[in-house]
Structure 1
Amino acid sequence: MLTYILKRFVQLVPVLFGITLACFFLLRALPGDPATLLLGARGGAEEIAAMKQRLGLDLPLWRQYLLFLHDILSGSLGRSVVYGQPVISLVLERLPATLWLVAYSTVIAVVMTIPLALWSAVKRDRAPDILVKLVFTVLLAIPSFWLGLVLVVILAIWVPLFPTSGYGAGLFSRLHHLTLPAFVIALATASLTIRSLRSGILNVLGSDYVTTARAKGNATGRTMRVHVLPNALISSISVLGAHTSWVIGGTVVIETVFALPGLGSLFVESIFARDYPMIQGLTIVFAVLVVLINLATDIAYALADPRIRLD
């Protein structure tokens, strides 16, 4: 297991190198630059040139890229053009909100997935099964930002049960503020995991050991709890892990809709300001988070199924 984890971290190096190349040169291909946006209409040619020199944007691209790599290796990830602070400081300040959102939405998705998938599988091809599949297929097709806006209008404005924005201070206040955005993300996650778990349950229900357990007179509830659900969940771990990686990117939209002070909203702000160091640093952070989630998924998969070996 330890050898596998170390190998995955070694494999992360060329992946991150490729991401730095793509991010760096794609940013420079976009119209506009931080110096022009910072000075605005009041900036003449001389002021813009001086600002570019101060920001290091007048250097050759290869030197700018080497400086970017130096910032990564030093751990600072560079200095934000807009905020004037090290990127890593702003990342650490905003990271908790994003991690809370991802964790809370994952918990809600799991709580929704297990009972609904069981209900759908047990009532296969009957009204409950058709209803569950129809509802979550429709939810999967609805854009998250639109669903978020609808929930804000209904549950935060018409019926003021939840706040429209913000992060909260204490634990319960924080959970209260994050409920709507986490629920929006959880609906998208559950739309996939319910179908996966339902298929896994149906496969396990047709297996020989479940038939034997039923023949021995085991109660249906015990059979589902002891034999069916644990084995069916194994196939859903990879789906949940992959979708959690997607959620990391999805926070960009959700945090913007709900005005949450996380990495996603910071990323959007940085793009509009053409804050090159911040965008580059956040891209690296998102990439590392996705790799760590995928690694955790592989480990969880191996622990859940002893037949799987991680080499």
Structure 2
Amino acid sequence: MPAARLRFVAGRLVQVLPVLVALLLIVVLLQQLMPGDPARVIAGPRASAEQVTQVRHDLGLDQSILAQFWKYVVNLSGGDLGRSNRTGIPIATIVGERAAVTVWLLFGGLIVSTLLAVPAALVMALRPRSPAARVCARSLTVILNCPPFWVGLMLASVLALRTGWLPVGGFGENTGDRLRSMVLPSLTIGLAAMPLLARSGAASLRQVLAADHVTTARSLGLSGWPLVRRHLLRNALPPAVTLLAVQAAALLFGAVIVEQTFGLPGLGAEMVNAASQRDFPVVQALTLIFGAAIIGINLLADLAVALLDPRTTWR
């Protein structure tokens, strides 16, 4: 990689560090802001005041915020995310068992949203007055106003309960069953992200179509896929990639709803269960993981846009 690109990447990584520090601080403060006393939850409702005080001391809750922050960072640097208050199982083990489900769901949702959004964007941009473009525009408006949980329930009712082709919920034991169990959740989460992606892509394509170099190419007889491939896609991709990163972050939190709807044992469902049972260490760890994932997605999108945009100077 050229030195200029290395400096660009290094600069972006340096910019991310303060955000990560702020995220860690928020995660530590989260325990102070959440309702309820974690020491009382662990000790039990019948524990004496002395027992609650001892538990609070063991957890380090009687220390200052800075001391708790430093302890959390030191433990985190050693790969220790803590233990669940409910089960005593290491949180790293819980994450390892459940992360695959959420990753499958996110990738499935991104694939579905991209496969549906790209053709719709091309139709609305290249044939804006055609019946197909009008159908796409109206369909996107309808889909955009449908809540994801309602879409999931409708898909489950129509494609699963009535036909028996797909499972309504759960996560299979083998690869084939898992792929089948991911179809409906992926459709649900992909449809939620698709309208904005399609509209943004269509708007970017229209701007590129109005550019002078595209007008010149069309006047020379270039049309169809060669025009799209050579002149439209690369110039229209950077805004779409940026929005895709934003949508990926939204999908991450949308996974909480979808996992609950379809009974998937993922990180989102675990966070809901942990919050309802006042399992503060699990909530902290999952908040950190989700936040770090969003930061990482935005960083990768920033680098991808720089690579795709022909105007990048790498300074």
TM-score by length of 1: 0.88
1:35: how far off? 4.6
Question: Does 2:291 align with 1:287?
Answer: yes
- Amino acid corresponding to residue 17 of structure 1 in structure 2: V
> Kindly, what percent of the aligned residue pairs are identical?
34
Question: Does 2:257 align with 1:253?
Answer: yes
- Cα distance in 2 for partners of 1:16, 1:219 equals 47
Q: Secondary structure at the match of 2:258?
A: helix
- Amino acid corresponding to residue 268 of structure 1 in structure 2: V
- Cα distance in 1 for partners of 2:232, 2:199 equals 16
Structure 2 counterpart of 1:148: 152
Structure 2 counterpart of 1:177: 181
1:63: how far off? 4.5
1:138: how far off? 2.3
Structure 2 unaligned runs (5+)? none
Question: Does 2:108 align with 1:104?
Answer: yes
- Amino acid corresponding to residue 310 of structure 2 in structure 1: P
1:60: how far off? 5.7
Deviates more, 1:93-102 or 1:49-58: 49-58
Structure 2 counterpart of 1:6: 10
Number of aligned positions between the proteins: 311
Question: Does 2:281 align with 1:277?
Answer: yes
Residues 7 and 273 (structure 1 numbering): CA distance in 2 closer, same or farther, change over 3 Å? farther
Residues 75 and 158 (structure 1 numbering): CA distance in 2 closer, same or farther, change over 3 Å? same
Question: Does 2:192 align with 1:188?
Answer: yes
Could you tell me which of 67, 74, 79 is aligned with 1:70?
74
Structure 2 counterpart of 1:115: 119
Could you tell me which of 257, 266, 272 is aligned with 1:268?
272
User: Once the two structures are superposed, what CA deviation does each residue of 1:224-264 show, in whole Å capped at 9, x if it has no partner?
Assistant: 34332333223211111121122122212211212212211
- Cα distance in 2 for partners of 1:227, 1:64 equals 54
Q: CA RMSD in A?
A: 2.5
- Amino acid corresponding to residue 116 of structure 1 in structure 2: A
1:289: how far off? 1.0
Question: Does 2:15 align with 1:30?
Answer: no
1:213: how far off? 2.7
Structure 2 counterpart of 1:95: 99
Question: Does 2:269 align with 1:244?
Answer: no
Work out whether residues 125 and 205 of structure 2, in 8 Å CA contact, stay in contact via their aligned partners in 1: yes
- Cα distance in 1 for partners of 2:263, 2:314 equals 41
Structure 1 unaligned runs (5+)? none
Question: Does 2:209 align with 1:205?
Answer: yes
Deviates more, 1:150-159 or 1:44-53: 44-53
User: Once the two structures are superposed, what CA deviation does each residue of 1:276-300 show, in whole Å capped at 9, x if it has no partner?
Assistant: 2211111111122111111111121
